[in-house]
């Protein structure tokens, strides 16, 4: 019996020691290698927000593409010629009702701005269009010849898309001009906030993004009671209404267009009722408050409704 | 990114060797494990002992049979064997011859019921030999049947405490659950480790003992027949 006990103890000890030393521990399961994909979140407003430029700043600051090849032999006009006429450099659309202010006598007197704003914002809207004959709505696509003359004419489009850093923007050095602009803004905006010569970040109120406008239009369409029918494709109802900053309807909505179709009148009145119903359910209060102001803000909305679909 | 994933994967990985599994276990589970280990040691001691005993017994019986059937005189054989400690067939032979000798020692030989006395003496010797061979086999049977349950008890206890710990830590992550269950299952593994050899060895030794006893009984019958013939020839 002693031999057996000794043999058993020896065997167990050997096995335990072997298990401690040599027996491999549990290995972790192999993990499948997952390729990581870089994902960028791009909001629509990044694409729709457009920075505003200055009205009469340095033209050289504009990052115009320099033609390396085929340099235009035409000598660029000196920038001083631009100064008397503050042409809209930015691609932002001008206000809908630009007061044809008188010519802004831009005497280059080095008078500092009366209110020392921390952010020297540019003039938001090139309201003081000196030539009233010129239609302001077509500002972005049309390269102003005076402006583009500062850069080589090889590519006419880029100067309209000048994206200037806010640091480079200088206050218009004419206080009279600022005052005029303030007045023009105050006329057009229903906001109680004092209209500034610029906006906070040098970014113009871009207004609602496209999908936000779509959401509003969709909300109205859902409340729009209409008979399911085959309507002509060009039949649409454009309603226009004003909103308070709290997202409530202010004033009565109106229909902006007309159509010879006999069903148009019914559709139009139904669309107006739909606007009232959306307002009664508080649908407009979802709109972001910071986008209320400005000519593109949602203080006034004008969604286009199509009865089909 | 990749380093982050790897670090979170590698964090809960602990040492899962035998020793750490034992060391991290609950006290009750530790006791169960130690008991099972002792049972395994004892079982293997018995197994080794029985293997040696059975082999020795088989060899002794074979050797004795060759000597017995070699035509050697029974008196001579008894003379060489009766002073030793004998086992199995030799013990049978010595017991029967001793009874034969004693029956012829007196002035008047007691031959009348000598045959019955020899048979009884050999039966007793076979029983004693079978007892010797079967000793401690019951321990193997007990360990073989009880060790899995003991291990299961340790496992249940370990899982119970593991779940209590999980409830206390308020995390259902598998990495939190796994080590406790692994060390609990280690108790069942030890129980099976002790039980499986015990069951196999018990079955083998039980049949070995049966065979050895049958062989001794056969020899006892043959030897009884020889002695019976001698008695009748002398009577």
Contacting residues of A for B137, CB less than 8 Å apart: none
pLDDT digits (tens, 9 = 90+) for B35-68: 999 999 999 999 999 999 999 999 999 999 998 8
Residue A67 clears pLDDT 60, i.e. is over it: no
> Comparing C-alpha atoms, which of B219, B144, B50, B183 is closest to residue A25?
B183
Please report which confidence band the pLDDT of residue A80 belongs to, taking 50, 70 and 90 as the band edges. Answer: very low
CA distance B123 to chain A (A): 26
Phi, psi of A250 (to 5 degrees): -120, 120
Contacting residues of B for A3, CB less than 8 Å apart: 48-49, 52
Which residue's structure tokens are 């629509």? A44
Residue A158 clears pLDDT 50, i.e. is over it: no
A264-300 burial: b if 16+ Cβ within 10 Å, else e:
beebbebbbebbebbbeeebbeebeeebbbbbbbbbb
Please report which confidence band the pLDDT of residue B169 belongs to, taking 50, 70 and 90 as the band edges. Answer: confident
pTM of the entire predicted model: 0.48
pLDDT of residue B113: 84
**Interface contact A39, partner B, CB < 8 A:** no
CA distance B39 to chain A (A): 11
Residue B74 clears pLDDT 80, i.e. is over it: yes
Mean pLDDT of A16-28: 76
Contacting residues of B for A25, CB less than 8 Å apart: 15-17
pLDDT digits (tens, 9 = 90+) for A272-301: 888 888 888 888 888 887 788 777 778 888
Q: DSSP letters along A104-133, please?
A: -------PPPSS--SS----SS----S-TT
Residue A167 clears pLDDT 50, i.e. is over it: no
Q: What is the DSSP letter of B23?
A: H
Closest partner CB to B52 (pick from A4, A19, A25)? A4
Residue A302 clears pLDDT 80, i.e. is over it: yes
pLDDT digits (tens, 9 = 90+) for B170-214: 877 777 778 888 888 989 999 999 999 999 999 999 999 999 999
pLDDT of residue B147: 95
Query: Pick the residue with more confidence: A257 or A28?
Result: A257
Distance, in Å, from the CA atom of B133 to the CA atom of A212, rounded to the nearest integer, reads: 95
pLDDT of residue B182: 85
* Chain B residue with minimum CA distance to A10: B41
User: Is B43–A28 a contact, with Cβ atoms under 8 angstroms apart?
Assistant: no
> Comparing C-alpha atoms, which of B227, B209, B14 is closest to residue B121?
B227
């Amino acid at each position: 019996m002693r031999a057996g006990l000794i043999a058993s103890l020896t065997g167990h000890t050997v096995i335990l020691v072997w298990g401690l030393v040599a027996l491999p521990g549990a290995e972790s399961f192999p993990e499948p290698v997952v390729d990581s994909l870089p994902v960028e979140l791009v909001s629509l407003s990044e694409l729709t927000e457009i920075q505003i430029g200055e009205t009469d700043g340095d033209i050289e600051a504009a990052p115009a593409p320099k033609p390396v090849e085929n340099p235009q032999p035409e000598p660029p006009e000196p920038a001083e010629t631009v100064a008397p006429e503050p042409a809209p450099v930015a691609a932002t659309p001008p206000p809908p009702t630009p007061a044809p202010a008188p010519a802004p006598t831009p005497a280059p007197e080095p008078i500092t701005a009366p209110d020392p704003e921390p952010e020297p914002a540019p003039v938001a809207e090139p309201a003081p269009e000196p030539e009233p004959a010129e239609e302001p709505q077509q500002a972005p696509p049309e390269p102003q010849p005076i402006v583009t003359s500062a850069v080589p004419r090889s590519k006419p489009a880029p100067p309209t898309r000048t994206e200037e850093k806010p640091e480079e923007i200088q206050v218009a050095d004419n206080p009279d001009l600022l005052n005029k602009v303030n007045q023009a803004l105050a006329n057009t905006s229903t906001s109680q906030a004092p209209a500034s010569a610029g906006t906070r970040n040098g970014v113009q109120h871009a207004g609602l993004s496209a999908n936000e406008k779509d959401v509003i239009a969709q909300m109205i369409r859902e409340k729009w009671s209409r008979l399911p029918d085959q309507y002509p494709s060009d039949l649409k109802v454009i309603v226009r209404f004003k909103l308070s900053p709290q997202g409530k309807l202010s004033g009565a909505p109106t229909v902006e267009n007309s159509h010879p179709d006999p069903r148009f009148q019914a559709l139009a009145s139904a669309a107006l009722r739909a606007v009232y119903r959306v307002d009664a359910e508080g649908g407009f209060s979802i709109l972001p408050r910071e986008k209320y102001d400005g000519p593109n803000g949602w203080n006034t909305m004008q969604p286009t409704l199509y009865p089909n679909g | 990114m990749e380093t982050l994933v790897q670090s979170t994967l590698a964090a809960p990985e602990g040492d899962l060797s035998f020793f750490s599994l034992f060391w991290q276990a609950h006290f009750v589970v530790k006791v169960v494990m130690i008991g099972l280990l002792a049972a395994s040691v004892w079982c293997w001691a018995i197994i080794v002992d029985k293997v040696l005993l059975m082999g020795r017994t088989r060899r002794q019986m074979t050797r004795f049979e060759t000597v017995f059937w070699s035509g050697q005189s029974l008196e001579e054989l008894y003379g060489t064997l009766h002073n030793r400690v004998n086992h199995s067939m030799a013990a049978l032979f010595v017991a029967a011859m001793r009874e034969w000798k004693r029956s012829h020692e007196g002035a008047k030989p007691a031959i009348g019921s000598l045959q019955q006395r020899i048979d009884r003496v050999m039966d007793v010797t076979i029983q004693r030999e079978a007892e010797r061979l079967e000793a401690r086999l019951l321990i193997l049977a007990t360990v073989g049947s009880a060790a899995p349950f003991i291990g299961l008890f340790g496992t249940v206890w370990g899982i119970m405490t593991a779940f209590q710990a999980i409830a206390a830590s308020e995390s259902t992550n598998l990495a939190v659950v796994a080590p406790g269950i692994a060390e609990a299952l280690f108790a069942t593994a030890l129980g099976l480790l002790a039980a499986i050899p015990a069951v196999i060895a018990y079955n083998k030794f039980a049949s070995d003992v049966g065979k050895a006893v049958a062989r001794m009984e056969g020899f006892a019958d043959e030897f009884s027949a020889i002695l019976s013939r001698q008695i009748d020839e002398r009577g």
